[in-house]
């Protein structure tokens, strides 16, 4: 499924790229509890497409909220980032299962399919006015942008990327590296931690990375609790292939681009 500019709502009109933490009014910060529950349900629906990602959206939502709070954002703002974390991969509903579950490298055409998912996801939620008002739509759209401008879909950089999207980018990459995927084994938390730190100021916002290092210990405990199958021998080839914050290229690991 492809969505071009002729399909769905006008994202330029509906998506707010502003820093939600400083420009969204306090009255707009409250998301109804039902919206939060719906976001969680939709996240589970997307994760159900692949047994390897059975809790990915939940984990990203949890880590995103913890990071937001560690950065000093209010509880209401952290809850908005939490909701966006549940929904960040919503657009993968438009990516064929055979591509997401492919155990080998992706072709250029398959990569093009994968890279549509932030735009598709933003279009799916944008008819909900509160998603736009709180910045959730923009976070979904921009969660694969990189701090150095080498991300997608728009190649924006630094603080031009919505703050919530910068938070989700770290949470998303952490969860992806820790999980087993069809094309590699999971990475131990220590190696994933080091990889995120290594990508500070290139792939990731340095302030978000600093917050991550502050709360790394409780996050590690969260992932280890009830998740014994996530880890992998750090010396296995598959585990080594999971790391990397290179500029976008055919050699960049799949889990840090998807």
Domain boundaries, the chain: 29-256
pLDDT mean across residues, the chain? 79
Does residue 165 carry a pLDDT above 50?
Answer: yes
- pLDDT value at position 164? 97
pLDDT digits (tens, 9 = 90+) for 212-255: 999 999 999 999 885 534 333 333 223 323 334 543 333 345 55
Q: Which residue has the higher pLDDT, 42 or 116?
A: 116
- pLDDT value at position 53? 62
- pLDDT value at position 249? 35
Give me the mean pLDDT over the 44-53 stretch: 66
- pLDDT value at position 47? 65
- pLDDT value at position 38? 74
- pLDDT value at position 235? 30
| Core vs surface per residue 167-199: b (16+ CB within 10 A) or e | bbbbbbbbbbbbbbbebbbbbbbebbbebbeeb
Task: Give me the CATH code for the 29-256 domain, please.
Answer: 1.10.3210.10
Does residue 64 carry a pLDDT above 70?
Answer: yes
SS3 content of the chain, % helix, strand, coil (to 5): 60, 0, 40
Model pTM score: 0.78
- pLDDT value at position 204? 98
């Amino acid at each position: 499924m492809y969505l071009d500019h002729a399909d769905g709502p006008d994202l330029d009109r509906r998506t707010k790229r502003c820093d939600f933490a400083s420009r969204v009014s306090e009255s707009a910060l409250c998301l109804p509890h039902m919206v939060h529950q719906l976001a969680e349900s939709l996240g589970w629906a997307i994760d159900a497409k692949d047994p390897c990602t059975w809790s990915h959206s939940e984990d990203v939502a949890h880590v995103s909220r913890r990071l937001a709070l560690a950065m000093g954002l209010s509880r209401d703002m952290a809850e908005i980032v939490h909701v966006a974390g549940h929904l960040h991969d919503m657009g993968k509903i438009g990516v064929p299962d055979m591509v997401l579950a492919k155990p080998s490298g992706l072709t250029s055409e398959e990569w093009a399919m994968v890279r549509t998912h932030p735009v598709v996801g933003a279009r799916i939620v944008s008819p909900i006015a509160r998603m736009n008002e709180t910045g959730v739509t923009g976070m979904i759209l921009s969660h694969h942008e990189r701090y150095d401008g080498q991300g997608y879909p728009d190649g924006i950089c630094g603080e031009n990327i919505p703050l919530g999207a910068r938070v989700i980018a770290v949470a998303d990459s952490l969860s992806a590296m820790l999980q087993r995927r069809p094309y590699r084994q999971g990475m131990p938390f220590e190696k994933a931690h080091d990889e995120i730190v290594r990508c500070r100021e290139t792939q990731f916002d340095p302030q978000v990375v600093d917050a991550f290092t502050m709360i790394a210990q409780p996050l590690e405990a969260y992932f280890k609790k009830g998740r014994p199958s996530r880890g992998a021998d750090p010396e296995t080839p598959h585990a080594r292939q999971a790391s990397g914050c290179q500029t976008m290229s055919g050699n960049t690991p799949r889990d840090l681009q998807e």
